[in-house]
Structure 1
Amino acid sequence: MVIGFGTCLVQWASGLKNDGEPTAKWVAAGTLALGVFNGGVCLFGRGVVENVLYQVREKDAAEAKGE
């Protein structure tokens, strides 16, 4: 959701630029948008890392039990 929201914000900032809004306004909006987008990518990446670590721990626990 955060990645999608960031993408929408990037489009919004781009629209501000195309509408001729002052530079400070669309630059600030674009900076915020990229921050939200990158935050979403970080959350996604952390989720992948946690999933892999969980799978490795489960595999090690199963091997220790002799399964």
Structure 2
Amino acid sequence: MGTKRLKKQWLLHAVGGLLMTGLGLSLFGEALIKKWENAPLWDWLLWGTLALLVFNAGVSLVGQAVVFRVKLDGRNEK
């Protein structure tokens, strides 16, 4: 993988991961509000599950961005 491609992958994963992490936290807030308002079980449960899925996907993308960055830094040192 070329240096330009590594940098592009790092940038896409870092930004995408941070956006997804924030979205997951926002969805979690919506699930909390629904539970607080005594919404039916399936309503807030689905929101909470979606929040967990999106948040964890965001964390995974950020982790992969770290891998790309380490590879990129390794190439720059040589």
Q: TM-score scaled to structure 1, two decimals?
A: 0.82
Unaligned ranges ≥5, structure 1: 63-67
Q: RMSD between aligned alpha carbons? A: 0.9
Percent identity over the alignment is 38
Q: Aligned pair count? A: 60
- How far does the alpha carbon of each residue in 1:38-64 deviate from its partner, in whole angstroms, 9 at most, with x for none? 1111111110111001111332xx2xx
Larger C-alpha radius of gyration, 1 or 2?
1
Show structure 1 runs of 4+ deviating over 6 A: none
Higher relative contact order (CA closer than 8 Å, sequence separation 6+): 2
Unaligned ranges ≥5, structure 2: 1-18
1:43 counterpart residue number: 61
